[in-house]
Amino acid sequence: RQHKGIDIFAPKGTPVIAATSGKVNFSGEKGLGGKQVWLKDRKRRQSLYYAHLDSIIPGLNRVMQGDTLGFVGNTGNAKSTPPHLHFGIYKNNIGAHDPIGFVYLPEKVERIPNNNQNITSRLKVNSSQAHFRNKPATNNSKVVKNGQKGQLLYVQGKSLDWFHVRDSLDRAMYIHESQVKYIY
């Protein structure tokens, strides 16, 4: 069987975000892909396929680039593999298209200090007015939680000036770099 797409390995529960704005044609569980989302990108005449999700955000219809679709898992035929996102691009009337050329690779990747634990790094909230958001932006995002000064966070990644973090209850969210400090 041919593997039409790329596998992006990440911890189970890592948010899977929409690579573009579009309409969700299907979200549910079926076949080899297990829990999956199909996102129609009319602008580029293609569909984006997100598979092996642990869970899917309910009620998806129209989404904006950066919206969370679901969370990394290993459903479908990936039950015996580490958690990962299978990402595919299907061009209208052409079929599967290798997505590797569409995956953004910045010229310079910012290094986050590693404390040799099973996490990338740890941060502490250093602001008394910290706001956790559902997206790495202040525009078109929602405050999902207010932070407390000194609160411990586990870094999952970074997007421009925003850290993708998890709190002690393993909730995923974003916080601006100005509201935190590294713990070494």
**Phi/psi at 90 (5° precision):** -120, 115
Q: What is the pTM of this model?
A: 0.58
Are the C-beta atoms of residues 137 and 177 closer than 8 Å to each other? Answer: no
Are 17 and 93 found together in one domain?
yes
Q: Is 112 within the bounds of a domain?
A: no
Higher pLDDT, 115 or 45: 45
CB contact set of 45 (below 8 Å; sequence gap of 6+) = 91, 92
Q: pLDDT tens digits for 145-176?
A: 898 898 888 777 777 788 888 776 767 788 99
pLDDT value of position 93: 72
Are 140 and 86 found together in one domain?
no
Are 139 and 86 found together in one domain?
no
Are the C-beta atoms of residues 25 and 37 closer than 8 Å to each other? Answer: no
Are 129 and 175 found together in one domain?
yes
pLDDT value of position 2: 64
Rounded to whole angstroms, the Cα distance separating 108 from 104 reads 12
Are 19 and 97 found together in one domain?
yes
Are 98 and 14 found together in one domain?
yes
Which whole number is the average pLDDT over 35-59?
Answer: 95
Q: Is 114 within the bounds of a domain?
A: no
pLDDT value of position 112: 46
| CATH label of the domain that carries residue 11 | 2.70.70.10
pLDDT value of position 1: 54
Rounded to whole angstroms, the Cα distance separating 24 from 27 reads 7
Nearest CA to 136 out of 180, 174, 109, 172 is that of 174
Q: pLDDT tens digits for 69-127?
A: 999 999 999 999 999 999 999 988 778 887 876 775 545 445 444 443 333 467 889 98
- Residue 51: HSE in the Cβ half-sphere, 13 Å Cα cutoff: 21
Q: Give the rounded percent of residues in the chain with a pLDDT score beyond 70.
A: 87
Q: Is 30 within the bounds of a domain?
A: yes
